[in-house]
């Protein structure tokens, strides 16, 4: 299928936002043309769905595809499993960059997270289209338009609650579970239930599978097929979506030009539960729940010798790394250029160092960009939706350009 469109229409029609957004008149003044007898106030938030409001978002041509998938016989007939939903967004002015960018959403969200923001500012997709990139946006297998017909293996859980979103994403400074939360300033609006921007954000959460093993196996089945069709690309992920570039770096590294991860939720051997600060065992293969290609090889994750490093505090979490005389590497993953970007007020600022430390231990040379060190301050976990999101997009763009110079 093919269409020429602009980003707010995709966001609003896909999600059916309720409520109104306020406090964004200045940014909307630069992005919306008003027809006769239409005031700017009538084109804020969901009101901008009106035919009287013309979007000035970055135009593009849109095609969509389902990649991968296979038939499984059932009592009802042949069902399709493991397909990825992929949107291809081509700049109207033509592609200017040599490699595409492919966006992977986080848990509880879908590909719309990369489109315009809940308060109707430009999102990452617009930024990269403006800079001449061919952009691909996924709904990963088992999520949204990539939902699985395999109802036995892909049981569902909730995407989020208002309380989880407030404490972990939009106003972590109020729950104050880690000291850096007090630096959070960039969420638009109050960040609480009843605020129209928060309500728009919360409306975007959808169920996801509770079976992480099944989900990861299905993504690795179809992910490399997608990359073979597209070619070498830069993979941009958020949160738990970062497990997908890890799997593709492991299975088909020649097609991954670089792995760019915003608040990567791949803490080795552990995960945070609840609102984000209570540790639990997770990812027994290090960065994934499914097997990775270690050297020397192992047949089971129990062959990894592990130890906990560092004193665990709310502001600086301890890490689990390998120990002993044999430190196994991950040569495929280590061969892919990797960068993590972490907001100064995100819970990830307390534990993303564990991701970097393990990547170094398994043979990689990862970059870690702490946004606060660049003067990009006040960001929480959903930095790509916050007020300074385009500054962060520019950091990603600059990193890609530096990698391209090395080729």
Return the exposure string of 227-257: e unless at least 16 CB atoms fall within 10 Å of the residue's CB, then b. Answer: beebeebbbbbbbbbbbbbbbbbbbbbebbb
Q: How far apart are CA 35 and CA 246, in angstroms?
A: 47
List, for residues 190-235, the tens digit of each pLDDT value: 999 999 899 999 999 999 999 999 999 999 999 999 999 999 999 9
Q: Model confidence at 45, in pLDDT bands (50, 70, 90)?
A: low
pLDDT value of position 40: 57
8 Å CB contact between 351 and 386: no
Single out the residue of 331, 334, 344 nearest to residue 380, CA to CA: 344
6: annotated active-site residue: no
Q: Model confidence at 43, in pLDDT bands (50, 70, 90)?
A: low
Strand partners, 259: 235, 338
Q: Model confidence at 39, in pLDDT bands (50, 70, 90)?
A: low
Span between the terminal Cα atoms of the chain, in Å: 34
pLDDT value of position 19: 33
Question: Does residue 1 have a pLDDT over 80?
Answer: no
Per domain, the residue ranges of the chain are: 2-405
Strand residue runs (E) in 92-127: 101-104
pLDDT value of position 280: 80
Q: Model confidence at 129, in pLDDT bands (50, 70, 90)?
A: very high
Average pLDDT across the chain, whole number: 89
Q: Name every residue whose Cβ is closer than 8 Å to that of residue 326 and which is 6 or more positions away in sequence.
A: 296, 305
Single out the residue of 261, 273, 267 nearest to residue 236, CA to CA: 261
Q: How far apart are CA 247 and CA 219, in angstroms?
A: 8
Q: How far apart are CA 239 and CA 88, in angstroms?
A: 22
Question: Does residue 18 have a pLDDT over 60?
Answer: no
The distance from CA 71 to its chain's CA centroid, rounded to whole angstroms, is 29
Residue 314: φ, ψ to 5° = -65, -30
* Segment 78-103 mean pLDDT: 97
Both tokens of 364, joined, read 């990689």
pLDDT value of position 281: 85
* Torsion of the alpha carbons at 225, 227, 228 and 232, rounded to the nearest 10: -170
Q: Name every residue whose Cβ is closer than 8 Å to that of residue 313 and which is 6 or more positions away in sequence.
A: none
Residue 84: φ, ψ to 5° = -100, 135
- Which stretches of 290-377 are DSSP H helices? 331-334, 352-361
Q: Which of 47-56, 106-115, 281-290, 374-383 has the lowest mean pLDDT?
A: 47-56
The distance from CA 160 to its chain's CA centroid, rounded to whole angstroms, is 15
pLDDT value of position 41: 57
Three-state DSSP at 343 gives coil
Question: Does residue 154 have a pLDDT over 90?
Answer: yes
pLDDT value of position 272: 73
Q: What value, to the nearest 5°, has the Cα angle with vertex 33 and ends 31 and 37?
A: 140
pLDDT value of position 244: 98
List, for residues 311-332, the tens digit of each pLDDT value: 999 999 999 999 999 999 999 9
For residue 13, whether the previous peptide bond is cis, meaning omega lies within 30 degrees of 0, is no
Single out the residue of 363, 341, 238, 342 nearest to residue 296, CA to CA: 363
List, for residues 331-352, the tens digit of each pLDDT value: 999 999 999 999 999 999 999 9
pLDDT value of position 54: 75
Look at the pTM and tell me if it is higher than 0.85: yes
Residue 68: φ, ψ to 5° = 75, -150
Q: What's the fold here for domain 2-405? A: Rossmann fold (3.40.50)
Q: Model confidence at 273, in pLDDT bands (50, 70, 90)?
A: low
Which of 110, 181, 239, 259 is flagged as catalytic?
239
Both tokens of 291, joined, read 């097997």
Highest mean pLDDT among 24-28, 50-54, 89-93, 115-119: 89-93
The distance from CA 192 to its chain's CA centroid, rounded to whole angstroms, is 22
Q: What percent of the chain has pLDDT over 70?
A: 87
Q: Model confidence at 407, in pLDDT bands (50, 70, 90)?
A: confident
């Amino acid at each position: 299928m093919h269409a020429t469109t602009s980003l707010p229409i995709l966001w609003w029609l896909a999600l059916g936002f309720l409520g109104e957004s306020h406090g964004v008149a200045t940014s909307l003044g630069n992005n919306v043309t008003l027809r006769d007898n239409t005031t700017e106030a009538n084109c804020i938030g969901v009101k901008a769905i009106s035919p009287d409001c013309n979007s000035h978002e970055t135009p593009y041509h849109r095609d969509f595809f389902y990649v991968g998938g296979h038939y499984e016989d059932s009592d009802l007939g042949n069902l399709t499993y493991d397909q990825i939903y992929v949107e291809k967004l081509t700049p109207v002015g033509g592609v200017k960059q040599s490699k595409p960018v492919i966006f992977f959403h986080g848990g509880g969200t879908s590909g719309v997270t990369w489109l315009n923001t809940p308060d109707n500012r430009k999102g990452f997709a617009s930024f990269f289209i403006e800079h001449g990139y061919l952009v691909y946006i996924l709904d990963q297998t088992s999520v949204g338009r990539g939902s699985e017909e395999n109802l036995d293996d892909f049981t569902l859980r909730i995407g989020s609650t208002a309380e989880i979103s407030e404490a972990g994403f939009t106003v972590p400074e109020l729950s104050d579970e880690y000291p850096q939360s007090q630096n959070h300033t960039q969420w638009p609006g109050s960040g609480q239930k009843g605020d129209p921007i928060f309500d728009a954000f919360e409306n975007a959460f959808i169920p996801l599978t509770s079976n992480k093993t099944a989900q990861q196996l299905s993504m690795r089945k179809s992910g490399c097929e997608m990359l073979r069709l597209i070619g070498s690309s830069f993979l941009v992920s958020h949160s738990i979506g970062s497990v997908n570039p890890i799997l593709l770096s492991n299975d088909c590294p020649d097609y991954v030009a670089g792995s760019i991860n915003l608040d990567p939720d791949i803490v080795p051997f552990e995960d945070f539960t609840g609102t984000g600060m209570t540790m639990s065992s997770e990812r027994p293969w290090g960065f994934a729940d499914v097997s990775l290609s270690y050297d020397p090889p192992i047949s089971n994750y129990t062959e990894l010798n592990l130890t906990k490093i560092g004193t665990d505090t709310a502001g600086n979490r301890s890490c689990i790394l390998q120990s002993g005389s044999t430190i196994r590497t991950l040569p495929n993953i280590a061969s892919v250029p990797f960068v993590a970007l972490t907001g100064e007020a995100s819970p990830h600022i307390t534990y993303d160092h564990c991701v970097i430390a393990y990547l170094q231990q398994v043979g990689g040379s990862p970059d870690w960009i702490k946004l606060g060190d660049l003067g990009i301050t006040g960001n929480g976990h959903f930095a790509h939706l916050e007020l300074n999101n385009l500054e962060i997009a520019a950091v990603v763009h600059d990193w890609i350009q530096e990698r391209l110079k090395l080729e």
